[in-house]
Amino acid sequence: MAVEPLAEQPETNGTGRPGVGLVCVDVDGTLIGTSGAVEPVVWQAAARARAAGIRLAVCSGRPGFGVTRALAERVDADGWHCFQNGASVLHLGSGRSLSTPLAPESVALLVERARRTNRPLELYSDDDYVTESEAERALRHATLLGLPFAPRPFHSLRPPVVRAQWLLALDEEAAVLAEPHPGLEVSPSLAPTMPDSVFVNLTRAGTDKGSAVRAIAAAYGVELRDVMYVGDGFNDTPAMRIVGWPVAMANAEPVARELAERMVGHVDDGGAAEALEIAMESRGAAARPEGSPAEG
């Protein structure tokens, strides 16, 4: 699908090249911490960054509906965002999609395994999800996403299926990761609001947050060297490896910290705001320009 570049390129910062033109931000552990909400200081920094001409994009393992849709709309209601660990790349203003579906044989394998092991599995499209599991963990996850909990047959989800996800106890992770998942990208992630759980994201092979960031940067006409990615977990690392400004939260997993060129504060202290300030400084923008808009 053809995408439209930005009409104007970002201003230079005195070095003859642009500073950060696009900031992609993870959600759980980066925007949202143990409180379940984004700290006000982060919203204020986001408003200043937008005023400085920086595009902002959510880049989450969560689906692009429910509370996450509302979050992305507040970040940029007329922009591109990455959901479903890169499987859903959506433009909120126009409804355009650059999403990547799972192969039918991959879906069939996962459904058979879920029914045989009685392990909670979720299947997602761009705008809906289904689980057959009535497990308490599945109920809590629906609540976290702001979605009604209504288990129903997997075949009731209208295709295409873009992502699957195992909902696991922490001590189940190693065994599940060791299982064969042919044709699939397997990426575990954590959420501070469900600390007893691990979410194993399953997307089509080659589809991850890195591929999504490439697509979003191309849509905006921003070179990857001028993209900042802010994250905290293993599923953020494909994107952190390809951007010019990889940033990790103080609460990040070791694998994310190792890839980061910059570290910012803990998610519960609004560390993402520090990353946005760095992005503004890279463009020669004042951290708090007089009269800039702010959000509470």
> pLDDT tens digits, residue range 20-60?
999 999 999 999 999 999 999 999 999 999 999 999 999 99
Same domain? 31 vs 170: no
Same domain? 220 vs 260: yes
Confidence of residue 284 (pLDDT cuts 50, 70, 90): confident
Confidence of residue 285 (pLDDT cuts 50, 70, 90): low
Q: Which residues of 248-282 are buried (b: 16+ CB within 10 A; e: fewer)?
A: bbebbbeebeebbeeebbebbbbbbbbbbbbbbeb
In a domain, 224, yes or no: yes
Same domain? 188 vs 170: yes
In a domain, 116, yes or no: yes
Residue 185, pLDDT > 50, answer yes
Same domain? 93 vs 52: yes
Q: What CATH number does the domain containing 33 carry?
A: 3.40.50.1000
In a domain, 9, yes or no: no
Same domain? 89 vs 232: yes
What is the tally of helices (H) and strands (E) in the chain? 9, 12
Same domain? 95 vs 220: yes
pLDDT of residue 261: 96
Residue 6, pLDDT > 80, answer no
- The pTM score is 0.83
Phi, psi of 284 (to 5 degrees): 80, 15
**Alpha carbons 171 and 42: distance in angstroms, whole number:** 33
Q: 9 or 246: whose pLDDT is higher? A: 246
pLDDT of residue 7: 34
Instruction: Give me the mean pLDDT over the 184-188 stretch.
Output: 94
| Interval 83-128: pLDDT, tens | 999 999 999 999 999 999 999 999 999 999 999 999 999 999 999 9
186 touches 102 (CB < 8 A): no
In a domain, 200, yes or no: yes
Domain that holds residue 242: 22-99+208-281
Same domain? 132 vs 157: yes
Same domain? 62 vs 137: no
Measured in residues, the chain has a length of 296
**Rounded to a whole number, what is the largest CA-CA distance in the chain?**
61
Q: Which residues of 18-29 are buried (b: 16+ CB within 10 A; e: fewer)?
A: bbbbbbbbbbbb
What mean pLDDT, rounded, does the chain reach? 91
Q: What CATH number does the domain containing 115 carry?
A: 3.30.1240.10
Residue 201, pLDDT > 90, answer yes
In a domain, 5, yes or no: no
Residue 289, pLDDT > 60, answer no
pLDDT of residue 18: 65
Q: Which residues of 58-76 are buried (b: 16+ CB within 10 A; e: fewer)?
A: bbbbbbbbbbbbebbeebb
Same domain? 142 vs 90: no
Number of structural domains (the chain) is 2
pLDDT of residue 83: 97
Same domain? 277 vs 159: no
pLDDT of residue 11: 43
140, 172, 204 - which closes a domain: 204
180, 204, 228 - which closes a domain: 204
* Amino acid residing at 208: D
171, 204, 237 - which closes a domain: 204
